[in-house]
Amino acid sequence: MNKTQTEQDPRWQSVLDRDAGADGSFVFAVKTTGIYCRPSCPSRRAKPANVAFYDAPKDAEAAGFRPCMRCNPKGQSAAQANTEIIAEACRIIEASDEMPKLDDLAAKVGFSSHYFHRQFKAITGLTPREWGAAHRAQKVRAELQDKENTVTEAIYDAGFNANSRFYETSNKVLGMTPTAFRQGGKDTDIRFALGESALGAILVAESDKGICAIAMGDDPEVLVNELQDCFPKANLIGGDAAFEARVAQVVGFVEAPQIGLDLPLDIRGTAFQQRVWQALRDIPMGETVSYADIARQIGAPKSVRAVAGACAANKLAVAIPCHRVVRNDGDLSGYRWGIERKRALLEKESAA
């Protein structure tokens, strides 16, 4: 294979990018050294004229090449090993009563503090402290649902060593006070209204902080029941004429996305989810990006699955445009409100 052929081969770009995602799909060999490597190998790149590609290590070895000692193409890559180590660190955090100190946590998994912190954020999309906070927030939800505990006991059992620390972030995590959350949204006013669009029924709900839900479906009654399930004891108030104008805004945006949508939003989620959702809001209308693109944008290139999970957790259809995220191959993949609605939204935006 001459230089021109090598550079035209799409695998060469993976080698230049040291793309860990391509590991396992092929190996490349260097004729001048007699060594073959995985695409992500950090070693100095060879000249294209000296490179040959093989589908598997056995093929490279059959051609007379030996495995690289640095990237270990026949075994576990450094990225895979680091992922397992960070997963163990996550388990340590989740099993600890209090958030471990960074130095202690890094020492337990055999990393320096700086390298551990960098790898943890690259793989999970969060810092160790943010991961701990997200886990405690999830745990406190479960503890609050245990009626045997007081609210204070639930907060401490979830790993918060002071009430004040949790209350500082409770509205972002729960959307209300812990007491109101435990009581199914009791004494919380949530206004809502229904509308119709070309994509079916639309429900818009608003708390005192802003729009907290935008849902689409075939059956309006199902949408209302889902809202009631989220807040069984909240005061669900049918929208008045002023609020129904909110629904009209959403319907108008669905029908003609070029008009834009400017609404106050009550966005509830973990630190990681909120970073993903902000990145989604930055996608220009009419464009699509991949889950991997979003992961890179938020500084967590290895967190593609977590990004997909955050998209699935989005409760604000169109306002947080998760419909603009597709797979690397362009496939629409999943959508909370149905693939056909996702396709229709993208077609409307593209036409606009």
Residues 6+ apart with CB under 8 A from 309: none
Q: Which of 90, 212, 311, 322 is catalytic?
A: 322
Catalytic, 37? Answer: yes
Is 212 labeled as ligand-binding? no
Residue with tokens 């609050």: 144
Q: Per the annotation, does 90 bind a ligand? A: no
Helix (H, G, I), strand (E, B) or coil at 122: helix
Q: How many CA atoms lie within 13 A of 275 on its CB side?
A: 20
- Which residue in 67, 70, 76 sits closest to 28, CA to CA? 67
Has 230 been labeled as part of a binding site?
no
Minimal CA–CA distance to 313: which of 263, 274, 256, 255? Answer: 274
Spatial separation of the C-alpha atoms in residues 182 and 328, rounded to whole Å: 41
The C-alpha angle 121, 127, 130, rounded to 5 degrees, equals 140
Q: Tell me if residue 322 is catalytic.
A: yes
User: CB–CB of 35/29 below 8 Å?
Assistant: yes
φ, ψ for residue 146, nearest 5 deg: -90, 105
Q: 37, 90, 212, 311: which is the annotated catalytic residue?
A: 37
Q: Residues at the annotated binding site for Zn(2+)? A: 37, 41, 68, 71
Catalytically annotated residues: 37, 322
Q: Residues at the annotated binding site? A: 37, 41, 68, 71
